[in-house]
Each structure stands twice: as structure tokens, then as C-alpha cells.
Structure 1
Amino acid sequence: MTHSRALRVGVDIGGTFTDMAILDDSGIVAVGKTLTTHSEPAAAVEDVLRQTLTDHRLDPAAITTVVHGTTLVTNALIERRGARTALLTTEGFRDVVEMGREHRYELYDLALELPRPLVPRHLRFGVSERVLADGSVDTPLDTAAVKRLATELSGAGVEAVAVCFLHSHTNGAHERQAREIIRSVAPELRVALSSEVNPEIREYERASTTLANVYVQQLVETYLEDLRARLRGLGLRCDPLIMLSNGGVAAVDVARRFPIRMLESGPAGGALGAVAFGREAGRPDQIAFDMGGTTAKLCMIEAHRPLVTHTFEVDRVYRMRAGSGLPVRAPVIDMIEIGTGGGSIARVSPLGLITVGPDSAGSEPGPVSYGRGGTHCTVTDADVVLGYLDPHRFLGGDMALDADAAYAAVKEQIADPLGITVAEAAWGIHATADESMANAARVHAIERGQDPARLPLFVSGGNGPLHGPGVAAALGSPSLVAPPAAGVLSALGFLSAPMSIDIVRSRHATLSTVEHSSARDLFAEMEHEGAEVLAASGVDRGDIVHERTLEMRFAGQGNEIEVPVPHLGDGWRDALAASFAEQYRQRFGTVAPRGVETEILTWRVASRGPDPRARLHLAGTRDGSGARTGERDAYFPAVGGYVSTGVHDRYRLAPGTVLEGPALVQERESTLVVPPGARCTVTEDSSILVEFTPAPAERAPAERDPVRHDPARPDQHDPAQPDPAHYGTAQHGPAQRDSAQGEDR
């Protein structure tokens, strides 16, 4: 072993690949990527870490930090692989989780399917008790009924119980009492209380979140123990830290108690990486775009902070319809998920249009070009045909792609049915994917009061640099930023996240009736709770900072907005009202009405430790020698089709290097496609800045001889055969968009 400095490791388990990055004080020293093992996720983590440590001669004992994000919770909820769970609620309210809000998310669909609760009706039980909205007790808890139910549930094979009594967010005494009874009778049952998991107003969302938390708890605990044992087996001396959906990290014990806060832990890393690079380069506002093998995610960064929401939906019946999934109330980085990734399946619709996704070939079996049994043509297969991916250098040469199989799949499934050339079909798949993601990005930005045409696009994920230029062009973005190790940026982003926890209370009151002392005391209580959690995770109390926000609305409204809380000094009510008015103006583009009473619903405190010092640069120096490694044919309609395109090694490009498009910049996990008319510059932080200029007038694209042209052999230069047909980005079917966030916009 040759490395003696302290090492920090980030690991992200995605739908197709498991990514890993290793840092020391000088920057990125190693990255790794392997196919995700869905049946045993920790196995892929162990394999990629062992292989990377061996390849780079790194000492496992030098690793001081491991930060881990995973899709385990999301997948378990979608696939219904959780514990056999029961629900205890106030008598007469056991059907709340099935009735929901009685909202028809698709008004005219006569065969409408509603989200299926995690607990069937025969395992939902009402108990005699009643707490009123002000927290006072109207009817005491029927302890004998709880004891009897606990005995019956244990005998029936139930493994977990969620307790969600009416108004327990105000007074959770009955829930705590029920837990003590259940534990005394059936100590093997896991019990989750809504007053602890999600102490917020709105019973349906509170019950749904509590159920989801306890439903996956056993699975998460087993997984985390397996992961910890595998890391110890490799020689690591530290326990992993777990990435949370809010953009912070937590100790294993916190994640085990509240696994629902891991719901979107993986995608959070890409947004955090964008923030880290943006802060160093002076880009406070940008669009973070991450495209992997299964999905693409997009997030708005404002003033060096990713936007955060507190409502999320999982397991939607209709992927594109808000309200068709199970609501979860937890702090989540506000991003949209788009059903487009490298493994997204391309088809010809009944209308004769090319469509892409939202279903994906994933990693098992994967795209046709993976050679693992996949039969459906995918975006990755199209990119191989277009010459953007080198079949012999995929994942640094560790995984060869079958270019012939990709070509045959595109021809048979897309080109022949449409009567177009294979190159046109492949370009149609590529362009359709770009346009669908650009449409989603455009709507997401506008909904948040941003103009996407003025924001740079920060790309990450294995397919982000490859498709990002097309998305940026469709948005009219002035530039694109491709960071180093973009293909594993989520894992890198984890290493820039502080320890954090979010504390929440619901206390409904009009602003004019809230006393200064009660507001001060409530925030102090919440800050103390947050500090206790972080201190138990090893954070020095002197390094903890707290951010206060309130969810406020005009009296009588049904939705609220989050408002930063000014200093609680003299004139604090006027200052808070002004803060609310400013947030209202930013959100809705109009001045808040005067003379209308405002009210507070929810109080929030975000407690955070210090930001870790992480250099996300490539370690070492580069003089640019040998950076151009060759050429291969790549397809660009703007300049006539297949053209000989320079290929450059990302790891050898020196800061200040300027390249003119078309060009291909390769690193182990991703390829940056620089289109014709664009200019890219390697910046001091090892990123590549791509600036767009008007492209030359498009000529008719050329298709190589389908028999003789082999995308895997760049040395072939058959005469181009012009074809007058040209398929632009807007002609290939509707966008596939998934607005993955909550129902209260």
C-alpha cells in the first residue's frame, strides 16, 4: 500500500450502477463504478470498494469517513418488500389512509386507480381515544384494547405497528402510552409513532409517512448491518454515515430510527456536488442536471443552496400524475425525476413517433449493447450507434459494449418500422430523450420563478455530460459545466455534506396571537433537540448552527409557503410579516394583499454541523501532453452526419485548455459530447466549461453504408450517403416528465 493520508469515501447505489469516489486532502484520488446488485445491494458496494482500493494500492485502514446513499427505501416501497405492518388509529379513522384527500388526480379517467395503502384494511384498527386540536384529552386511551390488539397482532405474524392518533402532532401522550403497552406485551414488534416520525398537521400525510417509515425499518436495519460487516471485513475501522434526503448526513443510528429520511438520499448527492463546484467558481444560481442509467433528476440551485421541499410522493400509479402516489412528509431536496436514462427503452408509438421511457432496462438485463440478455433498444444503444460511446473503453475498458447488437436493435425496432436510416433512428432516440428532459427542466424552472435561458446547466451522472449539451441547447442555456468524475458525482457530493437533522412542530396560530416568549421557547426546545442528535453523532456543540423557518399562509388558504425567520427581537412580527410578503412575491410574482391576517402552521429548525473540507478536484498536475488520444466517427446532423471527431483524455487535459466542437472528452465513467459550434475550456477546478454559439446551418445528415460502417471501428471512412430526410428534436413524441414532488404547490 502506497497511500498514507486520510481517505474519505462516498458510495451511491443507483438503479443501474453503484458509484464510488475516494478523496484525500489533495482531491480525487480514485473512482469506481460497477453494476448494482439489486438482490444484495451491499455486495456491489463491497466489490467496487475492494477493487478500487486494490487497483490504486490504497490502504483500507486510512479511510476515516464513508458516506453512503441508496435507493433501497424507495425500491422497497415500490416493490412492497417491507414488513407485515398494522396500523392503530383513533376509532372511526382507520380508513383515512385509503380515502386520502378524495382527490381525483385524473378527472376524466373512469378507470382511475388510487394509490394502494401499505396496510390492508384487515390490519387497520381503531382504538377508543381522543385528543382535541388544542392538545387537551377528550377521551382517555383504551389501554385494555391496545393490549388485546398487541397480543392478537403478535400471534398473527405482524412484524411492525404504526400508531397514528388524531391530533397527536399536538399531544403525543396517547401514542407513547400505546407504544409502552405494545412493548410490554409483544416486545418483538417494531413500533413507530406519528408524533415522532412526522409531528405535523394533516392526518393522511402523517399516517402515510409513519407507515412507510416502520414498513421499511427492518429491511434498512438488516441492510445497514450487512454493509457495516462488509466494510469491517475489508479492513475499514469507521462506521458509515448515511446520506439523507435533505442534503445532510447522519449516523447509522439516526438512519435506522427514521429510514424514511433516506428516501431520496442518492439523488441529493448530485445537487450537493453542483453546490460545491458552484461555490468555488462563483456560480450561485444554476440548474443541476443528473442523468444516470434509469432516470434523470433536475434541481434548481439558488444562492448556493438547493431548494428543499417537505412533501414527496412514492410509488405512483401514474408516473406523471401528482396525487397518484403515497405521500411522504420529510425534508427532501426539491427535484424532479424524469423517466429518461441510458437504459430507457425506445419504441415507435402507434402514431409513428419515437418515444423514450419511462420504463428502463436497468442493469438486469440492461441495454442490448451490454450483452447481458437485453432485447429492447435503449438510449445507450442509440449513443453507441451515433459514435458517442467507445464500445472498447466503456467503464475504462472494464465492460465492453456490443456495437453490432446495438446497431441491429436500432435498425429492427426503430429504423425499419419508420422507413428511415439507422443513423436517423439513433439520432431520433437521442434527440427525443434530450427534448423530454429539457421540457421538464423548463417547466420546473418556471414554476420556481426562474428563467432557464439565463442559468448554466451543471451536468452529472454517467449520461449527464453526454446528453447535457442537447438539453442545454434546447433550454437556451448560455453554458454547461461538466465537473471531473461527473459519472460518480453523487458519491462525490456526499463528501461535501454536513451532519444535519431537521426538527419540526405543528402549532397552528395567527401571527398576531403568537407571543414573543412562546415563539422563543418553542424554537429553543427544537434547537436543543437537534443539537442533542448531532452531539450524539459526534458533532461538537460549538460547531452546530440552526436555521429557523415557518410555514405560513393567509388565513383561510389551504396551502402555505416556507418563510425564513428573522431575529426574534423588537418588531419581530413586522419583520416576519415582511419576510412572508417577500417569499410570496418571489413565488407568485405579485405583491401580497394588504389587510389580510396571516397564520402559522408549522415551525421548523434545521440543525447542521460544519461543512466538511472536501476538494472535489482531480488530484495531481496535468500538462496536457497526450490529451488527444485519437479520432472516431460521431454523428452530428448540424454538420452533415458522421464526421471524424477528435477524442480527448479528460485526465490529461490541463487547466486553460480550449477545445472547439465537435469533440469527445472521455473519462472512465462518462463522455462529454462537445457539439459543433461550441467551445469548451478546462477551468482551474478541473471542470470543463462549455459555451454555446449559434451552430452552422444544418445540412442533410449522412448515413454510412449500413453493411460496411461499424461504429466500433473508427478507422473506417466509407463515403457518406446523403439523405434528404432529417428528424429534428421536436418530431419524436411527447416529453416524458415526472414532477416528483408534492401536492401542495
Structure 2
Amino acid sequence: MSASYRLGVDIGGTFTDVVLMSADGVIYSKKVLSTPQDYSQGIESGVSALLAELGIDASEIGEFVHATTVATNTIIERKGARSGLLTTKGFRDVLEIARFRTPRLYDIHYKKQDALVERRLRLEADERICADGSVARRLDEADLEAAAAVFEAEGVEAVSVAFINSYVNGDHERRAAAFLSRRLPRVPVTASVDLLPQLGEYERTSTTVVNSYIRPVVERYVSSLKARLDRLGIKAPMMIMQSSGGVAPGDAVARQPIDIIESGPAAGVLGGQRLGEKIGVGDMLVFDMGGTTAKATVIENHAYAICPETEVGGGAALGARMVKGAGYPVQSPTIDIAEVGAGGGSIAATDAAGGLTVGPRSAGAEPGPVAYGRGGTQPTVTDANIVLGYLNPGALVSGELALDVEAATSAIAALGEKVGLSATDTAYGIHAIADATMLRALRGVSSEKGRDPSQYAMLAIGGNGSVHACSLAEAAGMTRIVAPPVAGLFSALGMLFADVEHQLVTAFYRRLDEVDAAALGEAAAPLIDRGLEMLRGEGFPTSESQSVTLFADLRYVGQTSPLTLRISEGDQGLAALRAAFHAEHQAVFGYASPGEAVQFVALKLVCRGVSPTPRMPDSARRGAERAVARHVRRAFFGEAGWIDTPVGPRSDLTETPVAGPMIVEEYDTTIVVRPGWSAACDAWNNVVLTRDAA
């Protein structure tokens, strides 16, 4: 049989989403509860069930793409490997000295997180490379043997090597890494010069340590998932979504797991960007609300922003990234995503003052919301939405997940008694508080960066995104919402549109006015050769199937924060680069200094494999559509009160707008069209909601 299907799987905090897409754009899907004890188990059961339902043989799957939270969860839960660090003498405390930043400036009780490597396992080598790359003190193998003996005796499971100034001369680091790999053959060793050869000893050390800390866990997970896919009969190469918006082979990701810190959210953003190109919407705010968190990303002129650094393990992060210090810095290219702890599983409770709070604690998949009947006792946002009539009171995912409405109502009512509100008002308060929390994420990527959210369309994805989209858009002043096909599983669908991609970096510490095109080409050549070799090894052998783009990190001499800009060819390209830097500096920081010297910090290469066939179909439709019985259900809309609201499938909508209120029910999500909004269906089968003129 021909391999005619592509399979995407996204693990969330509550659900695991499985999407199967045929060559002509027909989409089949399955949503199952996640299995936190072993996430690959949920993948196997979900994929197996979907293939059985459709009667499709696993051999027909030609591509498997996966987004996972395993890397992030490992750090958040502090379940990574017992790690050791070998560094230059005098620098063992770099991880704790860090950057003297705190996310809560006036909180005298704030305690910085412990380093991922305890101090007694941060060992020193008496070596020194100078800033110009010359050797001040040569590396002694006796130091390496002593360190190896300690690591072995302490049962260390992963080792990082990060020497000072290795970005200009990596000889000592590579020798140390090779020695430790021979001496400790079952312990993965990560050298910072292979991972992040650029300026900044703390950031470079932190990135390397995070990679080592999660590497054994991710390697085991990838191996386990590969075994499950083999058992299912899926022979397609395993590709994993990266934080930058591209995909890479599973074995490469296992060695460098820092590239998948924001794997799942990145898939939804990439899918949104490709959808925007297809339907001609260049400016949008992607709003992704799942079971545990809500995310927001801005797309401008069909492009999303890439951050050179993210922090992991410090809780949800607002996209403005003006306040740092809560987590561990990781310098890996990541789509700029704002995240808050508000999702369908977010728990509602009372605070010390007797007020109503929502999140960031989540019921997750186990025990889940009260209505799931899996042992949950604390009401959640999902329970509130059921009480309000937004969600089908009988069951979710087309009857596959039965709901206990009475239990949810009782839990909401009990909470209401504590705050002096009825069950209805308590439920609506929970819904509104969740909106207010999620509005912080939307503003973090829009108004806090000088953008007016009213000028953007909202792309509502995630299982709960379309339930809250209208009320959230009203609060943000937005007037247009797009709910794509399989919106509740859109991250699993979006990753099928991604290209194979690798992002490489090398140090290049030179003043711009001292560099010509020849010098730049000489510095970039090894990077380009490495990138092209990787693409050739992954099935992209010709120049037509390879795309290579060179970027530079630039800053004013003496400045701390660089900006990343694309480099054009030739000396004229360098002149254009200088002008572009001043303009970008003005846009980002509010000022420019054309008279000041500019310097390179690093060169970065983005290399992509170009598929011979389009990654995205011309249209998308759901196959094996599950019938939704048209009916009327009472739903509560705040000041408008309880309204008898028509409920029906997406297929009922046409290009002619229909006024709300109405509820569109689907297998994976529910679209709540509030009073004052209208809904229609476009040529790509998106539900487009528009706010009526006041």
C-alpha cells in the first residue's frame, strides 16, 4: 500500500490529541485522556483506536510528527537526571550567582530556585582559555580523571562541560567531553561548545545543564515511543516538533532536548501562521486554551517572532519577558509565546480574604474536573462552563467522555456558599476570572509591546479556546475570531504543516565596520556545510530541496542585549544590515545611535528541508463526521441572563452570517457564539465570528 496519510500527535496536560490527515485534506481525529505515568501509553492507545475505527493499516502512514511536554514537565516536576558539571576553576557557582534578577521585585520572601546541579557535583578543572582564544593554562587530564571518579562514585546520570571562553576556542572543552565519554560510557556528556558556542558564561552554562538534566528522560521517552510505534506497525520516521516552529528527527531531539521546551504550543502557532497565509489573514493573535494553561502569540505580516532565549521551570511566562529570573535560562530559538495558568482544568477556590480565585493549580487529566467522575472534588473552569450550559451536559468528545453534571453543579454551589453567590453567579464568576487571567497573556504579546489588539483577528484553538473566545475578544476590544477545523486538536494538525528545520549558531565576535563579505562568508561556511549535511542525511539531497538563511546577532559595542537580523549577500548586504539594526533598535528599545559602533556577537543559520509537495492542503474537512443532534439548550450570558440557545454542527453554517447566540458542537471543541456576535463558514471550513457593530 502507498503511504498516503500523515499522523500528528500532541500531548497536553489533560488530553492527548491524535490527528490523521489524508493527501486530499480529509482529517480524522481522536482525543483521549493523557497518561502522566507514561505519556507514550496514551499515544499508543489513541492511535490504535483511531486506526481501528477507520480500518486504516499502519503501513499507510508515511509521516509521524509529535509534540510533547515531556521536557518541560521534567524540569517543572524536578524529575530529571542526577547531573554533574565540570567547569573552569573559579566558576563553579555561576549557576547560583546567575543574573541577580527576581520576578517579584518587592517580595522579601521570594526564594530563588535551587540549581539543577548541586554544588558538590559542580567540579572544577584548572584550565583557562583567554578571551582572544589563547591558552593561559593547559587542561590537565588528572583533573578530568578526578572529576570522572567523583561522578562515577556519586551515580551521576548526565554530565555537562562548560569552560570559560570556550566559544572562541573549544579545544579544552571537546577534549574534556571526549575523555568523560570514554571514562563514563553509559553517561551522556554535553559540551557547551557543541550546544551553544557563544558569549555569556551563565546563559551558556545554564543551557548546557538544562540539556543534560532532561536528556536521559527524553532519550528514554523517545525510545519508548519508538517501540510503541513499531508495535503498532508504523514505520514512518519519528519527527518531533521544535520550539522554533520546525520539526526534527527524534534521535536528534533526544540528544538536544532543549529544542523542544515549547514543542506543543509552537505547533499551534506554526499551524496558525500557515493558515493565515492560506486565507489571507496576515495579522492575528493566536489564542490557545487547553486543559492546564492558556497561550497567546502575535503573528504580524504572516510571521511570528522568535526569542533567542526562554526560561523554563519557573511557572507560566508572560510574552513581554520584561521580568526574568523565575526559571532556568535556555538559549534555544523559541516562538515568542505568553503563557498563563488558566485552562479547563484550572481549579476554582477561595483566597485568604474570602474572594474567588481560579488557577494556576490544575486538576489535569488525573483526577480531572469534578464532572469527569475520576475522583476530582474541586470545581474547575470546565465544571463552570458545564453549569453555564456552554458544554454538552451529557458528554464530551461525542459521548466518549461521560459527564456527571450533578456533581459539577454541587461542587460549584458549595464554592458559591463560601463567597455568598448562587451556583450560576459562581460559575459565571469563574468563567470571567479565567478570562481576566488569559487577557494578561493576550496583552503580553500585544498592548504591552505597543500593538493594538483590536487590529488583529483572533485564532481560537485548543479544546477550550472557542468556548472563551467571544468573551475574551470583547474584553480585548477585538471584533473578529477564526475557529479552524479541528480547533481543539489544532496543535496536532498544525505540526503536519511544519518543515524539517535546524537552527545552528557559532560565535562571531567582530565589529561590523571591520568585516567584509569575504570574512563573513568564511565564518559562516562551516555552519552552512554542517546544516546542508544534516539536511542531506534527512532526505533533502538537492539544492532545490534545501533552504538556508543566515542571521546575525548584533548590538552596540558595550551593550548587553543583541538583536537578531537577517543577512543579505555581499558588501551591500552589510550596509543594509547596519541600517536595519539601527531601525530595529529604534523599534524595540525606543532609540537608536547611528554614530555608535556596532558589533557582531554570533552568526545563526536556519536550514530547512523543502518538501516537493505542499505541506498544507488547499482545504480541510473532517472525515467520518460524528453527527451532532440539533437541539436547544439554555445557556447563561451574563447580563443577558439565561437564553434558549440553538445547538448544531459546523456543517449547518454557510458563508451567510448567522446571528448569535448559538453553540456549535464538535468532537474536539465547542464554539460559543455570544449575543452580539455572528458566525459564518469560509472556503477553508473555518468558522469566522464577527462582532456586531455597536
The TM-score by the shorter chain falls in which range? over 0.9
Q: Which string of whole-angstrom CA distances, capped at 9 and with x for unpartnered residues, describes residues 459-481 of structure 1? A: 10000111111111111112000
Q: Which string of whole-angstrom CA distances, capped at 9 and with x for unpartnered residues, describes residues 590-642 of structure 1? A: 5x2331111221211111112552328443799x9997711111111242x11
Q: CA deviation at 1:659?
A: 2.1
For the 8 Å contact 1:638–1:676, the answer to whether it is kept is: no
Q: CA deviation at 1:419?
A: 1.9
| Residue 693 of structure 1: aligned partner | 692
The count of residues paired between Structure 1 and Structure 2 equals: 687
Matches of 1:688 and 1:442 in 2, distance apart? 24
Q: CA deviation at 1:201?
A: 1.1
| Residue 416 of structure 1: aligned partner | 417
- Kindly report structure 1 stretches of 4+ aligned residues shifted beyond 6 Å: 317-320, 624-628
| Residue 149 of structure 1: aligned partner | 147
Higher RCO (Cα < 8 Å, 6 or more apart): 1
Matches of 2:542 and 2:252 in 1, distance apart? 17
Matches of 1:257 and 1:4 in 2, distance apart? 32
| Residue 43 of structure 1: aligned partner | 41
Q: Which string of whole-angstrom CA distances, capped at 9 and with x for unpartnered residues, describes residues 259-309 of structure 1? A: 111111111111011112111110111111100000011111122222111
Please show how residues 320-331 of structure 1 align to structure 2 within 5 Å: 322-331=324-333
Q: CA deviation at 1:356?
A: 1.3
Matches of 1:553 and 1:338 in 2, distance apart? 31
Q: Secondary structure at the match of 2:308?
A: strand
Matches of 1:28 and 1:75 in 2, distance apart? 33
Q: Which string of whole-angstrom CA distances, capped at 9 and with x for unpartnered residues, describes residues 629-664 of structure 1? A: 11111111242x1111000112x3354253210000
| Residue 61 of structure 1: aligned partner | 59
| Counterparts in 2 of 1:200 and 1:229: CA distance versus 1, 3 Å | same
| Counterparts in 2 of 1:343 and 1:416: CA distance versus 1, 3 Å | same
Please show how residues 305-320 of structure 1 align to structure 2 within 5 Å: 305-316=303-314
Q: Secondary structure at the match of 1:614?
A: coil
* Amino acid in the other structure paired with 1:573: L
Q: Secondary structure at the match of 2:451?
A: coil
* Amino acid in the other structure paired with 2:336: D
| Residue 608 of structure 2: aligned partner | 608
Q: CA deviation at 1:319?
A: 6.8
Q: Secondary structure at the match of 2:91?
A: coil
1:666 aligns with 2:645: no
* Amino acid in the other structure paired with 1:599: Q
Q: Secondary structure at the match of 2:266?
A: helix
* Amino acid in the other structure paired with 1:659: V
| Counterparts in 2 of 1:398 and 1:136: CA distance versus 1, 3 Å | same
Q: CA deviation at 1:63?
A: 0.2
| Residue 11 of structure 1: aligned partner | 9
Please show how residues 288-687 of structure 1 align to structure 2 within 5 Å: 288-316=286-314, 322-413=324-415, 415-542=416-543, 543-567=545-569, 569-590=570-591, 592-610=592-610, 612-615=614-617, 617-619=619-621, 629-639=630-640, 641-650=641-650, 652-653=651-652, 655-687=654-686
Please show how residues 65-144 of structure 1 align to structure 2 within 5 Å: 65-144=63-142
Q: Secondary structure at the match of 1:337?
A: strand
Matches of 2:542 and 2:153 in 1, distance apart? 45
For the 8 Å contact 2:567–2:574, the answer to whether it is kept is: no
For the 8 Å contact 2:317–2:340, the answer to whether it is kept is: no
Matches of 1:656 and 1:275 in 2, distance apart? 23
* Amino acid in the other structure paired with 1:604: K
| Counterparts in 2 of 1:384 and 1:620: CA distance versus 1, 3 Å | closer
For the 8 Å contact 2:89–2:125, the answer to whether it is kept is: yes
In terms of mean alpha carbon deviation, does 310-319 or 248-257 score higher? 310-319
Matches of 2:5 and 2:610 in 1, distance apart? 19
Q: Secondary structure at the match of 2:105?
A: coil
Please show how residues 188-337 of structure 1 align to structure 2 within 5 Å: 188-316=186-314, 322-337=324-339
For the 8 Å contact 2:358–2:430, the answer to whether it is kept is: yes
* Amino acid in the other structure paired with 1:594: P
Q: CA deviation at 1:566?
A: 2.4
| Counterparts in 2 of 1:194 and 1:570: CA distance versus 1, 3 Å | closer
* Amino acid in the other structure paired with 2:166: S
Matches of 1:621 and 1:539 in 2, distance apart? 32
Matches of 1:620 and 1:351 in 2, distance apart? 48
In terms of mean alpha carbon deviation, does 203-212 or 593-602 score higher? 593-602
Q: Secondary structure at the match of 2:621?
A: coil
Q: Secondary structure at the match of 1:540?
A: coil
* Amino acid in the other structure paired with 2:79: R
Q: Secondary structure at the match of 1:495?
A: helix
| Counterparts in 2 of 1:88 and 1:620: CA distance versus 1, 3 Å | closer
For the 8 Å contact 2:295–2:441, the answer to whether it is kept is: no
Q: Which runs of 5+ in 1 are unaligned?
A: 696-745
Q: Secondary structure at the match of 2:218?
A: helix
| Residue 26 of structure 1: aligned partner | 24
* Amino acid in the other structure paired with 2:401: M
For the 8 Å contact 2:19–2:493, the answer to whether it is kept is: yes
Q: CA deviation at 1:317?
A: 7.0
Q: CA deviation at 1:352?
A: 4.2
| Counterparts in 2 of 1:492 and 1:555: CA distance versus 1, 3 Å | same
Q: Which string of whole-angstrom CA distances, capped at 9 and with x for unpartnered residues, describes residues 48-106 of structure 1? A: 00111111222211000000010001111111212211100000100101111123443
Matches of 2:627 and 2:96 in 1, distance apart? 63
Matches of 1:70 and 1:393 in 2, distance apart? 27
For the 8 Å contact 2:338–2:444, the answer to whether it is kept is: no
* Amino acid in the other structure paired with 2:648: H
Q: Which runs of 5+ in 2 are unaligned?
A: none
Matches of 1:602 and 1:653 in 2, distance apart? 54
For the 8 Å contact 1:341–1:379, the answer to whether it is kept is: yes
Q: Calculate the aligned-residue CA RMSD, in Å.
A: 2.0
Matches of 2:187 and 2:352 in 1, distance apart? 51
| Counterparts in 2 of 1:183 and 1:4: CA distance versus 1, 3 Å | closer
Matches of 1:350 and 1:179 in 2, distance apart? 52
| Counterparts in 2 of 1:192 and 1:570: CA distance versus 1, 3 Å | closer
* Amino acid in the other structure paired with 1:678: W
Q: CA deviation at 1:14?
A: 1.1
Aligned sequence identity (%): 38
Matches of 2:506 and 2:310 in 1, distance apart? 18
| Residue 706 of structure 1: aligned partner | none
TM-score, structure 1 length as denominator?
0.89
For the 8 Å contact 1:369–1:381, the answer to whether it is kept is: yes
| Counterparts in 2 of 1:621 and 1:159: CA distance versus 1, 3 Å | closer
| Counterparts in 2 of 1:89 and 1:106: CA distance versus 1, 3 Å | same
In terms of mean alpha carbon deviation, does 51-60 or 314-323 score higher? 314-323
* Amino acid in the other structure paired with 1:593: S
Matches of 1:481 and 1:327 in 2, distance apart? 34
Matches of 1:249 and 1:629 in 2, distance apart? 40
